Amino acid sequence: MNAKLFAYAPAPESRSVVEIASSYGLFIDGEFREAAAGKVFKTLAPASEEVLSEVAYGDEADVDAAVRAARAAFGAWSAMPGAERAKYLFRIARIVQERARELAVLETLDNGKPIRETRDADLPLVAAHFFYYAGWADKLAYAGCGPNPRALGVAAQVIPWNFPLLMLAWKVAPALAAGNTVVLKPAETTPLSALFFADICRQAGLPKGVVNIVTGDGATGASLVGHPDVNKVAFTGSTAVGKQIARTVAGTEKRLTLELGGKGANIVFEDAPLDQAVEGIVGGIFFNQGQVCCAGSRLLVQESVQEELLDALKRRLGTLRVGDPLDKNTDVGAINSAEQLARITELAEAGEAEGAQRWSPPCELPGEGYWFAPTVFTGVSQAHRIAREEIFGPVLSVLTFRTPDEAVAKANNTPYGLSAGIWTEKGSRILKLANQLRAGVVWANTFNKFDPTSPFGGYKESGYGREGGRHGLEAYLEHA
Amino acid sequence: MSTPDTHSSARLSVLKTYKLYVGGKFPRSESGRVYEVTEAKSGQWLANAPLASRKDARDAVVAARKAFGGWSGATAYNRGQILYRIAEMLEGRREQFAAEVASAEGLSKAKAQARTDAAIDRWVWYAGWSDKLAQVVGGGNPVAGPFFNLSTPEPTGVVAVLAPRSSSLLGLVSVLAPVIVTGNTAVVVASKAAPLPALSLAEVLATSDLPGGVVNMLSGDTAELARPLAAHQDVNAIDLAGADAELAAELEGAAAENLKRVLRPDGDDWAAEPGLERMTAFLETKTVWHPIGA
Amino acid sequence: MPTDAAPRDAGRGSLSDVVTSDAALRRFLQGLPGVDAVGLEARAAALGTRSIKTTAKAYALDLAISMIDLTTLEGADTPGKVRSLCAKGARPDPGDRSTPRVAAICVYGDMAAVAKEALAELGAGEINVASVATAFPSGRAAMPVKLADTRDAVAAGADEIDMVIDRGAFLAGRYMQVFEEIQEVKAACGAAHLKVIFENGELATYDNIRRASWLAMLAGADFIKTSTGKVAVNATPPNTLLMLEAVRDFRAATGRQVGVKPAGGIRTAKDAIKYLVMVNETVGDDWLSPDWFRFGASSLLNDLLMQRQKLSTGRYSGPDYVTVD
């Protein structure tokens, strides 16, 4: 390949907009404190393996302190007029907007995802979620949970590393609006934005104990969901851990919602708007390096248009810019952790071993950090591991179909049921397929769209309960 | 501040000229007329407010119609943000409005402050409805056949609003916010006796990212302005909150000519939490059918 | 890239079939893949967020200047106005001789000779003269008049003809009539290059713009052009992106490369760079030249020059430091 005529010069977003302290404590009862046992762990920038900060490791004693603080705050918080709770949430939404660039840079550093995404997707959605649920706080009687619904109590919330602050917003905003108090455990590899959120709570004047952040690992999360004094558990993450949590809460009074893995089918018919379908496929699997539970990781393409579509897709992938996540022109950033990179690598190798054809556009990956080139597998069948297991990385498996029924059968042939996409110019076909697909979110002629007003969640082993919209409120309210 | 400087001091205060608010601008009445606005209790002169004419009302309708496409087409999220911004800007002028409400309604400082605060909170309450109302009053309909069927609320258009006579700010906000939050545009006739908080509110609206023409504020004689508005063929609805029974009946009759949606006066208690009625009164329901079949 | 087209000989054969009858042409155009407006606009907007800095910006500014069809299309045009525009095009920044010249001077047909002569006198013969023709901008005239308009401009020295299509015929579904008009004008052009203007604002839908693109390319257009600059909606990033996709797909199908010219409404360097990013990421290097991409613009040039001055001096420039012609 010749050198490009129009090669973009580096356009890095300034790091100086965010100041990361060398260490952070746990945020319990309105203040930062060291872990009871004094343990800490490091958080890295996955794009460079640079240590960003040292974070307190919360154990059972810390979780207990946090739950006690949340319990103590619950009475006043839930009894407060909804209009006043609303105003706290509006304040938080506004402060998130004001500090959006700082948080975007922070998230990009800690997670490895491109600044373009944190700036244009994550942060606007975080603010929007707080705005949306702020408005519900004084309208709970209209939420469909009876005329006088009640908060559940203390909510234990465990969130993943793929959209750290956005997942926090999805959990914290409806919980607080409904009058619950929360203990939130961010993911081990991406704790920083939650800790910055603690500072936003301080700026908003949120009463102490209403939001508590306990950083740590899986064991910390297990202590939290197992704590006898929590009333509600909300988890987003892998299906395997979701099942463990379901077993843990079995036999208790705890309410549970789970938002787990997926193996979304993106179904392209021959009459699709092809250029836009290509964009949707690219956005569906390469957005956030494919580390998205609702990713369109299986492309089901009608055989009659397969060749044309794959040519267009490969041509388009040639323009993806992989590299420094802080560069404003980067489309695909770093994989979040060495562990995740190993899993993606392992599954991609299994794909090759099982006989699927592997293809990646030419792209130079940085020497430091965790990177995986955008990858497409063709000749994939339903029996291949890469068609069945969630890879959670920038790897697309391409399968074909001949008729709408076959497309539906293949799309539904998975234990998961989170998302699906349909690409066709024919409206009635969209609606027929949408009816037949066993998935919680069906996008037609678009993909990976999110909005605080729109419920999100899965069928089958993709979990239960919905986040977003009026439905998202139900997860935090008792009918009365 | 609207009250003339009564306490003796070295400095004479600068008085504000109150103007109409039409199409995002602050014109005087085209008629050149003003009328004397007085303090509720003392009867002392407060200001000369514009005495708007039927031509001002006509201009206001034109401005409201022009603004309707953009405002109704804005996302619900965007409208909610703007209503919340109004609350923020009003909060910043809380003292000024409390003073204006006190002299307009003859209230103690504390009471006027409480009503002003309630007016601010009312904007916040309605701001939250922008992106929720469709979820509460709309929805999918399970028709017996292979059809997708969805009903959604849509704004009715230009709404003439006769603001309550006695509650100069809280009452005004309570009738105005529900009209515009859903995407309607409004021509408001302020309380004749107590128009100053309304005219000052226009200054808040003008600095809150609210597009010009979404709210148009007129002061003057209620009946003189209401009659052409009720008969106007390009006005889609009218809220009669500020009309007495006799006038309301007359206006409702005039409104029948183009089948305006009419909201009749319903008491003067603006303290209670409003329900959905003031919003749904100015909404149309649109139902969309689409076949389902591969 | 041109090798992409090689395996598609079957496609090439079928393309000559599609213009054999009105019905075949209509079926072909209506059978083109649909355009999803939301997705197209989102893609154009996303490309608009590219951040073009330092060396890339310097390259883009000079490239954009070299792609300008510096335009005056006013009823008030005079030879004096046209000459001064030619001088501007030949030496855009008198203070900086490294500034590239524009691609062409675009005028009404009766000014083509004036422009040709002025450019020759300026020693800027490599700048083309583009003339609008075919009853620009409405296109509402009888065919003999349109052809005479075209021949006149060519005889006066126009190197390029910017014709308008009959939007009325297009919207009424008389595709073959539009096809034949383009063919006849193309024949009347002789050696002059033909740019075909759609007036996207009047075609109204993206599906129509895609159909018009294929129609014009099948009829022999050398360039397809968004708009006249005389209506409310002119070039926009999405409608230009759509036309770039069309020339890309047309080359893949036929092996023939066609240029694209957005015109009207592109006034700032920032806007122009967004268009170049679209070219870069949609059709690539092969179109990154004045031979294949043009901007129809007038005020754009001075903004590009001010940005160029900023890059070379480090100071923001102002309108007093560029010439008004």
Rounded Cα gap, residues A402 and A143, in angstroms:
43
CA distance B156 to B70: 14
Catalytic residue among A13, A293, A461, A467: A293
Inform me whether the pLDDT recorded for B124 exceeds 60: yes
Residues of chain C with C-beta less than 8 angstroms from the C-beta of A445: 36, 38-39
**Token pair for residue A365?**
């990956």
Is there a domain that residue A92 lies in?
yes
- Note whether A368 and A390 are same-domain residues: yes
Residue A140 forms contact with B (CB below 8 Å) = no
Q: With an 8 Å Cβ cutoff, are B125 and A432 in contact?
A: no
pLDDT of residue C14: 61
Q: Alpha-carbon distance B143 to B151, whole Å?
A: 12
Same domain, A135 and A36: yes
Q: What is the pLDDT of residue C5?
A: 39
**Distance (Å) from the alpha carbon of B122 to chain A's nearest alpha carbon:** 9
Q: Which residue in A302, A453, A473 has the most chain B C-beta atoms within 10 A of its own C-beta, making it the best mutation to test that interface?
A: A453
Q: Does B292 touch chain A (CB under 8 A)?
A: yes
- Enumerate the residues of chain A whose CB falls inside 8 A of the CB of residue C55: 9
Residue B268's pLDDT is: 83
Q: Are residue A300 and residue A370 in the same domain, yes or no?
A: yes
Q: What percent of chain A has pLDDT over 70?
A: 100
Domain count along chain A: 2
pLDDT digits (tens, 9 = 90+) for C112-141: 999 999 999 999 999 999 999 999 999 999
| Closest residue on chain B to A130 (Cα) | B128
Question: Considering only CB atoms, which chain C residues are within 8 Å of A6?
Answer: 56, 59-60, 63, 276-277, 280, 285, 288
Q: Do B132 and A142 touch (CB under 8 A)?
A: yes
Range A361-375 average pLDDT: 96
Spatial separation of the C-alpha atoms in residues A77 and A30, rounded to whole Å: 14
The residues in B 250-279 lying below 8 A from A, measured between CB atoms, are 276
What local confidence, expressed as pLDDT, does residue A332 receive? 98
pLDDT of B7: 56
Clarify whether residues A329 and A245 are in a common domain.
no
Record the pTM: 0.96
pLDDT over 70 at B260, yes or no? yes
Tell me: the pLDDT tens digits for A223-255?
999 999 999 999 999 999 999 999 999 999 999
- At A351, the pLDDT band (50, 70, 90 cuts) reads very high
pLDDT value of position C103: 98
* CB pair distance less than 8 Å for A271 and C55: no
Domain containing A199 equals: 15-260+460-478
d(CA A40, CA A57): 5
Indicate if the pLDDT at residue C12 is higher than 80. no
Label residue B294 by pLDDT band (50, 70, 90).
confident
| Residue of chain B whose Cα is closest to the Cα of A454 | B135
Minimum-distance CB partner of A83 among B81, B121, B135: B121
Domain residue spans of chain B? 34-38+45-291
Q: Write out the H or E segment, with its range, that includes residue A285.
A: helix A274-286
Nearest CA to CA, how far is C185 from chain A (Å)? 32
> Which of A1, A5, A6, A426 should be substituted to probe chain C, the one whose Cβ sees the most C Cβ atoms within 10 Å?
A6
Residue A87: closest CA among chain B residues belongs to which residue? B124
* Residues A222 and A295 grouped into a single domain: no
Given pLDDT bands bounded at 50, 70 and 90, which one contains residue C6? very low
The minimal CB distance from A280 to the residues C39, C49, C285 is found for C39
Catalytic annotation, pick one of A13, A107, A117, A259: A259
Give the mean pLDDT of A122-146: 97
Q: Are the CB atoms for C227 and C202 separated by under 8 Å? A: no
Claim to verify: residue A180 and residue A288 sit in the same structural domain: no
A428 vs B80, B131, B292: nearest CB = B292
Beta strands in A424-462 (DSSP E): 441-444
- A/C interface, count of CB pairs below 8 Å: 73
| Mean pLDDT, chain C, integer | 95
* A454 belongs to a structural domain: no
Confidence of residue C3 (pLDDT cuts 50, 70, 90): very low
Pairwise pLDDT comparison (B268 vs C64), residue with the higher score: C64
Smallest CA–CA distance, residue C277 to chain A, in Å, is: 8
Average pLDDT of the segment spanning A180-191: 98
Q: Is A142 on the interface with B (CB under 8 A)?
A: yes
User: Do A401 and A467 share a structural domain?
Assistant: no
| Domains of chain C: residue spans and CATH | 2-314 (3.20.20.70)
Contact C59 A6 (CB under 8 A): yes
Q: Is residue A85 domain-shared with residue A195, that is, in the same domain? A: yes
| Contact between chains at A139 and B132 (C-beta distance less than 8 A) | yes
> Over the stretch C85-102, which tens digit does the pLDDT of each residue have?
999 999 999 999 999 999
Q: Do chains C and B touch (3 or more CB pairs under 8 A)?
A: no
Q: Does C245 touch chain A (CB under 8 A)?
A: yes
**What residues of A are in contact with residue B131 (Cβ under 8 Å)?**
132, 135, 452-453
Q: Based on the domain organization, do A290 and A145 belong to the same domain? A: no
Q: At residue C150, does pLDDT exceed 90?
A: yes
Determine whether the interchain pair A2/C33 forms a contact, defined as Cβ–Cβ distance below 8 Å: no
- Count the Cβ atoms, other than its own, within 10 Å of residue A16: 8
**Within-domain flag for A88:** yes
B128–A136 CB contact, under 8 Å = yes
Judge whether residue C11 has pLDDT over 80.
Answer: no
Find residues 441-460 of chain A whose CB sits inside 8 Å of chain B. 452-453
**Partners of residue A433 in chain B, C-beta under 8 Å:** 294
CB contact under 8 A, A275 and C35: yes
pLDDT class for A87, splitting at 50, 70, 90? Answer: very high
CATH code of residue A295: 3.40.309.10
Q: Is residue A8 part of a domain?
A: no
Chain A residues near residue C59 by CB distance under 8 angstroms:
5-6
Q: Are residues A304 and A160 in the same domain?
A: no
Distances (CA, A) of A293 to A390, A413, A448, B24, B226: 8, 17, 10, 46, 57
Residues of A with Cβ-Cβ distance to B291 under 8 angstroms: 427-428, 431
Same domain? For A238 and A306 the reply is: no
The rounded distance, in Å, linking the Cα atoms of B141 and A400 is: 35
| Nearest residue, CB atoms, C51 vs list A311, A328, A445 | A328
Q: What is the ipTM of this complex?
A: 0.95
Radius of gyration over alpha carbons of chain C, in Å?
19
Is the same domain home to A340 and A469?
Answer: no
**What CA–CA distances, in Å, run from B105 to A469, A480, B35, B55, B99?**
41, 40, 18, 29, 10
Q: What is the pLDDT of residues C43-69, one digit of tens each?
A: 999 999 999 999 999 999 999 999 999
pLDDT at residue B3, rounded to an integer: 52
Q: What's residue A2's pLDDT?
A: 56
A→C interface, C-beta within 8 Å: 2, 4-11, 116, 120, 271-276, 279-280, 311, 319, 328-329, 425, 445-446
Q: Chain A within 8 Å of C7 (Cβ-Cβ)? A: no
DSSP chain B: --S---S--SSPPPPPPP--BBTTB-PPPTT--EEEEE-TTT--EEEEEE---HHHHHHHHHHHHHHHHHHHHS-HHHHHHHHHHHHHHHHHTHHHHHHHHHHHHT--HHHHHHHHHHHHHHHHHHHHHTTTHHHHH-EE---SSSEEEEEEEEE-SEEEEE--SS-TTHHHHHHHHHHHHTT-EEEEE--SSS-HHHHHHHHHHHTTTPPTTSEEEE-S-HHHHHHHHHH-TT--EEE-TTS-HHHHHHHHHHHGGGT-EEE----S--SSPP-SHHHHTTEEEEEEEEE---
**Domain covering B34-38+45-291 in this structure, CATH number:** 3.40.605.10
